[in-house]
């Protein structure tokens, strides 16, 4: 059996810890949250942002005009870069 441990909605400094394995931590959160990246702690970001192609998401408008989509993309990318 592995040391893989699913977290029960555990929060670590306002970050939703989803899975932990040894020194690997997997968080599930919204990259638009400006408080998520208060302190550097990430080595890799895996994301699947809305691509603005008309997909019916529950949490995002996927039919933005081009300028709105660029603003949205700049916001989440800037949060990742900080």
Helix (H, G, I), strand (E, B) or coil at 2: coil
- Could you report the per-residue pLDDT of 16-69, keeping only the tens digit for each? 888 888 888 888 888 888 777 676 777 788 887 778 887 787 777 788 899 999
Q: Same domain for 51 and 80?
A: yes
Q: Which phi and psi (to 5°) does residue 44 adopt? A: -150, 135
In angstroms, the CA 2 to CA 11 distance is: 23
Q: How many folded domains does the chain comprise?
A: 2
Residue 27: what are its φ and ψ, rounded to 5°? -110, 145
Distance CA 9, CA 29 (A): 11
Same domain, 80 and 51: yes
Are 23 and 42 members of one domain?
A: no
Tokens of 72: 């949205």
Question: The tokens of 32 are what?
Answer: 């638009």
Q: Is the pLDDT of residue 76 over 90?
A: no
Asked if 65 and 47 sit in the same domain, the reply is: yes
Q: Looking at the structure, do residues 40 and 26 belong to the same domain, yes or no? A: no
Please check whether residue 36 is in contact with residue 76, taking contact to mean a CB–CB distance below 8 angstroms: no
Q: Which domain holds residue 80?
A: 36-82
């Amino acid at each position: 059996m592995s040391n893989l441990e699913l977290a029960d909605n555990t929060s670590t400094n306002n970050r939703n810890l989803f899975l932990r394995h040894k020194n690997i931590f997997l968080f599930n959160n919204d990259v638009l949250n400006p408080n998520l990246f208060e302190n550097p702690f990430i080595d890799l970001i895996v994301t699947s942002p809305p691509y603005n192609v008309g997909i019916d998401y529950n949490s995002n408008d996927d039919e933005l005009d081009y300028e709105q989509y660029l603003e949205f993309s700049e916001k989440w990318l800037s949060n990742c870069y900080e």
